[in-house]
Amino acid sequence: MKNYKPTLRTLVHHPTTLALALVSTMVMFMLTYNTVIRYGFSWPILLNVIKIYPLAVIFIYCLRTYVTLPLVIRLHHYFPKAISNKIPRHITVPLLVITGNVSIMMAILTETHRQLYPLFLPGYIDNWAKTFFVAIPLFFFIVRPAIIYIFNHLKLRFPKVD
């Protein structure tokens, strides 16, 4: 049996693993939530979510990494005192990234589900509000604390070896 500890140590201490875990978990919850509120809860619906999940994770990770996160960082550099004096950076960066991701994803979802939303703008606003007001508390109060707790526990269990 191969020793898994060096691989797990490397994975746990790699700088992008935490971000990928956060994105993957949020995509799982939000994809399931958005699908179930539109089509109901059934095994065929959940199987469709499982089929779409890997592509959604890749898309959202790329959207976050190459579009929304760089834009948010530029906003923080352009308005450094206006943003960071009132709210700490560890809150504003994820909040603005989630806002950007939700805005883009809900535009895509509203357009691709025309049979559910014949009028784009009211459908988009409704989708955006339903998703945004679930994603923010989910991220800040459930997903991020749980993932950070798990990673802290794993880092203690598998310390970095130099």
| CB neighbour list of residue 51: distance below 8 Å, 6 or more residues apart | none
**What does pTM read for this prediction?**
0.86
> Taken in order 69, 75, 80, 86, is the CA torsion positive or negative?
negative
| Domain annotation covers residue 92 | yes
Least confident of 17-26, 59-68, 81-90: 81-90
| Domain annotation covers residue 12 | yes
| Domain annotation covers residue 144 | yes
Q: Taking 50 as the threshold, does the pLDDT of residue 1 lie above it?
A: no
| Domain annotation covers residue 19 | yes
| Domain annotation covers residue 162 | no
Per the structure, the complete domain to which residue 12 belongs is given by 5-157
For residue 23, what pLDDT is reported? 94
Per the structure, the count of domains in the chain is 1
| Domain annotation covers residue 72 | yes
Tens of pLDDT along 132-157? 999 999 999 999 999 999 999 999 98
